[in-house]
Structure 1
Amino acid sequence: MKISKKPLFTELCKVIAQNDIQSWKTCEFWNRVKLLGIENNNVNYQSIYRLLQCLVQENYLDSNYSNDDYSYTIYSETPLMDDFRIIFCNQVPSPVNKLQLKNQAFSEKLDSALEEIKEYENLKVLFPDLKQEIDELIQLKKNELIKFKAQKKAIEALITHINHNKNVTKKN
């Protein structure tokens, strides 16, 4: 990936590896990079900004990009950031990040199952003589949906519980 050849990439990786990025402004990245001993100048600040834009383009970060003043752009990591950390930061994703990836996988399975049920409904219209067999497949898929929803709900509850405990610990 070309991004790894850009100036200050290594320093930004160190920041990403050590932090959960949720609702960060460009200046928050910059302030943490400066703590690594990087010279405080406009060229370096622009390098960090360009790296952030690359991460947005590669879907590692989400942003609410503002043309008016890019310093007010807010960044949050996507589930793909775990892959970035593994590839570039030599960091194993946290248990919460693993849970988020698992949650995303269940969301995709749910969407796929719902699409499959829709297709079965369409097939019933095209092949009315196979209605019973198609209904059996629909019921199997609905049972699968119930299982996926329960698993997804359990993961979401666990993530919420962990994040709540983290916030309580931070306040104390």
Structure 2
Amino acid sequence: MQNLPMFRELSSVLCSYKIESWQTKDFWEKVKLLNVPDNNINYQSVYRLIVRLSNEGYLDIDLEKSKYNLIKYNENNKLKEFRSAFCFSSLTILKKVSSEKLKFESELIYLEEEIDVLEELKDQFPDIQTKIEQLIDLKIHRIKYLDIKVRAIVSLINYLSKF
């Protein structure tokens, strides 16, 4: 099944959303958010995958809410198996992102210590004091950049933790 057209895109939707009373058009709207061309071939590929997932027991048809040939689908426990097989573990991603944050925080500490030492060196080498100050300015710019990166990663971690 994973070799079928649009499988990767539909899998991304299935991994990112809780499926409750979804029609085919709901799946399609989410797939289009992944910058998939909006054409009949892609729509039909998504439709066939949804039918196959339903036939193989990954999606349940909500008989109470389905009317006039508008089938509504719900997720079930078997879809959780699908997710564990085809979705990237959000926990693994969180670990990688957190590791990257620690790396930046470590570099921040290193740069701050380096600036402290450079400040001390200004007194020892007054003839290159201007160059030392320029280097300190470069280090300060790097610290500001890393602070922004750390804040962005914290935002990303908070956002990913919601899912």
1:88 counterpart residue number: 86
After the TM superposition, which parts of structure 1 deviate over 4 Å for at least 4 consecutive aligned residues?
A: 64-68
Q: Give the 3-state SS of the residue equivalent to 1:24 in structure 2.
A: coil
Contact 1:17–1:91 under 8 Å retained in 2: no
Distance 1:55 1:31, change over 3 A: same
Distance 2:89 2:27 in 1: 18
2:45 counterpart residue number: 47
5+ long unaligned stretches in structure 2: 92-163
Percent sequence identity over aligned pairs: 40
Q: Give the 3-state SS of the residue equivalent to 1:38 in structure 2.
A: coil
2:35 counterpart residue number: 37
Letter in 1 for 2:22: W
Distance 1:83 1:37 in 2: 27
RMSD of equivalent CA atoms? 2.1
Tell me the matched-pair count: 89
Displacement of 1:91 in angstroms is 3.2
Q: Give the 3-state SS of the residue equivalent to 1:37 in structure 2.
A: coil
Distance 1:67 1:5, change over 3 A: farther
1:12 counterpart residue number: 10
- TM-score of the aligned structures, taking structure 1 as reference length: 0.48
Letter in 2 for 1:91: S
Contact 2:62–2:74 under 8 Å retained in 1: no
Contact 1:60–1:78 under 8 Å retained in 2: yes
Distance 1:58 1:14 in 2: 19
Displacement of 1:64 in angstroms is 4.5
5+ long unaligned stretches in structure 1: 94-172
Distance 2:90 2:16 in 1: 11
Q: Give the 3-state SS of the residue equivalent to 2:81 in structure 1.
A: helix
